[in-house]
Structure 1
Amino acid sequence: MKQIPLPIGVDAEPDFDNFVAGDNAAAVDALRRLVIPSPPVYLWGPAGAGKTHLLAALARQLRAEGARVGWFDAETPLPWEFDEGWWLVVIDGAERLDAERQHAAFALFVESATHGAQMAAAGRLPPVDLPVRDDLRTRLGWGQVHAIKPLTEAGTRAALRREADRRGIFLSDDVMDYLLTRFARDLGSLMTLLGQLDRFSLAERRAVTVPLLKKMINEESGHA
């Protein structure tokens, strides 16, 4: 069954407390304790491992301290202009930057160094393997580099159970197995799907079951 894009809605904003660390505890701790400004931070790992979540958690932590944050990715329109009020500048999806955005990203590194802002970035590849210009690759790999590993199946199940408990959902083994065998296995997609299922079950006034999940997917895909 094809994964259907579903809206996040009012789900919890990413922070360090709602990130399921798994084998990434050291990286999470390093980000929590990051002293601003420090050398650049770069996170790499497969899609869905939680890189964007961690960048957002870092941004949220700094905003709570009164900081301002600039956030860029491959879809951010040009020009990219640095704001001297930023404490943190984030570049997500480094491997997807085109030539113009690579140039803009390098300029942000230069401006950040000049004004004492923290740089943090993420991509699916380690810095040495990124398909970007050499000077940008060097900047991305200059400071802390953390490999972010996806959860094991047991960790994913535990995370889904915890989120279901938080929402007051009884998640049966049948529903859990269906989620893990029919949809994208990364935790971000599964959490989004669980949130949608929670709202759908409330609207239908029915318990969360495999038939209810199938009905939701059929309606979302226009096959009601």
Structure 2
Amino acid sequence: MSEQLILDISPAPPCSLENFIAGENKAALEALYQCVPGRAIYLWGAPGVGRTHLLLAMAGKDHTCYFNAEDPPARIHRIATDDNMPYRLIAIDDIDLFSKNGQAAVFALYNRWRATATTAGHFALVVAGNRAPLSLSIREDLRTRLGWDLVFRLVHLSDKHRAEAMQQRARERGLQLQTEVVNWILTHYARDMNRLTALVDALDTYSLVKKRPITLPLLKELLAYSQPSEP
């Protein structure tokens, strides 16, 4: 097995509310657990705080869907205007990146959400962006709608919580991570939890391939082999 393929064959686990390490974001996580049709939640924060993880987790259930700025606005607009609503929850990611047509489609979706919130055709909306609603560079009437119901700011995990998350993932795989390995990762590697989780999985696979325990030299060797080759 090629060492350069280790990270590729060790993808991050599927996003779920259960494997989201909340840290100081417990209020937002609890609101998502309790989110039912008729409610709307707007999540905002810097890149890497877990916005996409949470939206994919919410959209991973039956009768849900997920959209981001790369999806055709016409699909969102069609859902907003069709006679029947087939979804119990709709997740809209990176609203700050939406085009004018995309913003118009989400605006129509919010209007439908409000009009049906107390009817049998109700559905939940979970939307995420990089800033608080009134600070977004989007159309004014959509900014106000983002604040119609619950709004939560997501913050980065502390190093303590990141370390706990990595150790938890390691225990799930029957591993033991040395303190020096965890500390080196927190100092030198990406701080995004999806990438940290994928790295723990990759370390497990690599240690099995090499038949060596997980140590700092093994970690550095894995990362060196996984770097793109120079042209």
> TM-score normalized by structure 2?
0.82
The separation in 2 between residues aligned to 1:11 and 1:187, in whole angstroms, is: 9
Separation in 1, partners of 2:154, 2:173: 27
1:175-198 alpha-carbon deviations (Å, 9 max, x no partner): 112211111223222112222222
What root-mean-square deviation, in Å, do the aligned CA atoms of Structure 1 and Structure 2 show? Answer: 2.2
Residues 145-170 of structure 1, C-alpha deviations (whole Å, 9 max, x = no match): 01112111111111111111111222
Q: CA deviation at 1:58?
A: 2.6
Q: Match of 2:15? A: 14
Aligned in 2, Cα 1:200/1:13: closer, same or farther, shift over 3 Å?
A: same
Gaps of 5+ in 2: 1-6
> Bigger shift: 75-84 or 44-53?
75-84
Q: Which residue of 1 aligns with 2:4?
A: none
Query: Where do residues 31-180 of structure 1 align in structure 2 (5 Å cutoff)?
Result: 31-38=32-39, 40-60=40-60, 63=61, 67-80=62-75, 81-82=78-79, 84-113=85-114, 114=116, 115-180=121-186
Q: Is the 8 A contact 1:74 1:97 kept in 2?
A: yes
In structure 2, give the amino acid aligned to 1:12.
P
Q: 1:191, 1:107 → 2: CA distance?
A: 37
The residue type equivalent to 1:95 in the other structure is D
Equivalent pair of 1:8/1:195 in contact (CA under 8 Å): no
Going from structure 1 to structure 2, the CA distance change for 1:200 and 1:100 (only over 3 Å counts) comes to: farther
For residues 132 and 41 of structure 1, what CA distance do their matches in structure 2 show? 18
CA pair 125-7 structure 1, distance change in 2 beyond 3 A: farther
Which residue pairs with 1:3 in the alignment? none
Query: How many residues align structurally?
Result: 213
Unaligned runs of 5+ in 1: 1-5
Please tell me whether Structure 1 or Structure 2 has the larger radius of gyration of its CA atoms: 2
